[in-house]
Amino acid sequence: MLLSIPALAQKTDSVEVKADTVKKDYRPTGIRFGTDLIDIVKSSYDKTFDGWELNADIDFDRYYLVVDYGYWARNFVDESGGQYDNKGTYLRFGADVNFLTKDPEKNMFFFGARYARSVFTENLSFRLEDPIWGTVDTNLTNNNIQAGWMELTTGLRVKIWKIIWMGYTARLKFGLSLGDTGYMTPSDVPGYGRADKESYWGFNYQIFVRFPVRKAASIPLKK
């Protein structure tokens, strides 16, 4: 009888270990679509900027595939009457890793990485005073410029009501590379910022709508 007690305890321990072991399920549970509120607000009051951004992500357990697409236009006028403007689109794609793995609501605190591409045109108009030819109006244009860069990201996503989520993304942009720019070096790159900076900080405050794909398996409590 005494010999059967350790055997029973060993059997019970093995059952608990199996109950506590959860097999990873990488099937997506939901897709989120959102937009950046900062771009919307900034476009309404900043006369030098016009833009918007759309966001989407899908989960694979604690890993999220992320895609962002946006439009960006700038318009600057200096004191001498010169004017610079650009407009274009950008695309970012990458992945985030969620560190709130035990949250049943799938709230997120994440770190991630992105690769970004931008295609845009820009125009520079200015007036020169030449001693021979007098006043000369000059216009320089770059068409179909392509740029690429990398980003490191961190942020938060929180469920606030049913399928509505809000959060932020902070991003460090770096490694800007430009294609053929002809005779004029770009001043501003849509999605990136000033082209003369080796690195650039960005911040987005976003609202999302999440569409469930399937119900996530519940996480068993440890005994």
The domains of the chain are located at 27-212
pLDDT average per 10 residues of sequence, the chain (223 residues) = 45 46 79 96 94 96 96 86 91 97 89 97 80 72 92 97 95 93 84 92 96 72 50
At the top level of CATH, the class of 27-212 is mainly beta
Q: What is the pLDDT of residue 222?
A: 52
Q: pTM here?
A: 0.82
Give the pLDDT confidence score for residue 216 in this predicted structure. 66
Percent of the chain with pLDDT over 70: 83
Q: Give the whole-angstrom CA distance, residue 181 versus residue 184.
A: 6
Encode 132-145: b = buried (16+ Cβ within 10 Å), e = exposed: eeeeeeeeeebeeb
- What was the pLDDT predicted at 157? 95
Specify the pLDDT at position 130.
Answer: 66
Residue 185: the pLDDT is 82
61-88 pLDDT, tens digit per residue, is 999 999 999 999 999 887 767 889 999 9
pLDDT of residue 134: 62
Pairwise CA distance, residues 7 & 55, whole Å: 56
- Confidence at residue 102, expressed as pLDDT on a 0 to 100 scale: 87
- Cβ atoms of 126 and 80 within 8 Å: the answer is yes
